[in-house]
Amino acid sequence: MEPAERDAAYAKEALEKATPNYYKIIIEIGCTRTSEELLAIKRSCQFLYKHSLEEDVASHTFGDIRRVYDFFMQLLVAIVSTYRYEGHVIDESGGILEANIIHQIIEKKDFSNDEIIRILSTRSKKQLCVTFNSFRNIYGSTITKVMLALVVILFFKHSTRKII
């Protein structure tokens, strides 16, 4: 089995199981494969299963993910849908600018803002490293820590609404 076919099979299984642990597989595939590899996986999904990977990711949810984690679903769909630049050119000033944009969006909790999804889904991995390092240098915390804290806040907000 070719690597793209294997990843297509893993993605199909993850979407069929539709639990948070299985979504990690989709995230790993979307974030660790090159644009060419991701394109091959999408073609394999289409050929083997007669389904679009992007449409399947968009339509499969677990629990209340659409309401609580709509931002993360949009990001996940964007990650598997876009064609990332894979070159070596990075933009230090762009990384600083985008770190500030991400910080403003996080501060406002404005997850309907498409700018953060555009940044996280279209930038090369090297450019994202520049942006994340700039964020850490400017704000003293990593983006992952800030985003994890927001996930917890969103989860508890949703949980308390359900109880009341």
Calculate the alpha carbon distances from 160 to 67, 70, 110, 155, 163 in Å.
Answer: 14, 18, 20, 9, 5
Domain match, 10 and 67 both: yes
Domain match, 4 and 50 both: yes
Domain match, 67 and 88 both: no
82 secondary structure, DSSP code = -
Q: Residue 144 burial by CB count (10 A; 0-12/13-18/19+): exposed, middle or buried?
A: exposed
The mean of the pLDDT values for the chain is: 81
| Nearest-10 Cα torsion for 4, 5, 10, 15 | 100
Domain match, 78 and 89 both: no
Domain match, 104 and 74 both: no
Residue 133 lies in domain: 84-164
Q: How confident is the model at residue 16 (pLDDT cuts 50, 70, 90)?
A: confident
CB 79, CB 29: distance < 8 Å: no
Domain match, 36 and 103 both: no
| Nearest-10 Cα torsion for 140, 122, 6, 23 | 50
Q: What is the mean pLDDT of residues 120-132?
A: 89
Calculate the alpha carbon distances from 163 to 78, 99, 152 in Å.
Answer: 32, 36, 16
Highest-pLDDT range among 61-70, 91-100, 150-159? 91-100
Domain match, 40 and 97 both: no
Q: What is the pLDDT of residues 19-77, one digit of tens each?
A: 767 778 888 888 888 889 999 999 999 999 998 888 888 776 555 445 445 777 777 78
Q: Name the residue with higher pLDDT: 114 or 101.
A: 101
pLDDT given at position 144: 81
Domain match, 48 and 107 both: no
Query: Among 82, 107, 142, which residue terminates a domain?
Result: 82
pLDDT given at position 64: 46
Query: Among 82, 100, 133, which residue terminates a domain?
Result: 82
Domain match, 72 and 133 both: no
Q: Per-residue pLDDT for 83 more than 50?
A: yes
CB 20, CB 61: distance < 8 Å: no
CB 121, CB 75: distance < 8 Å: yes
CATH of the domain at 38: 1.10.220.10
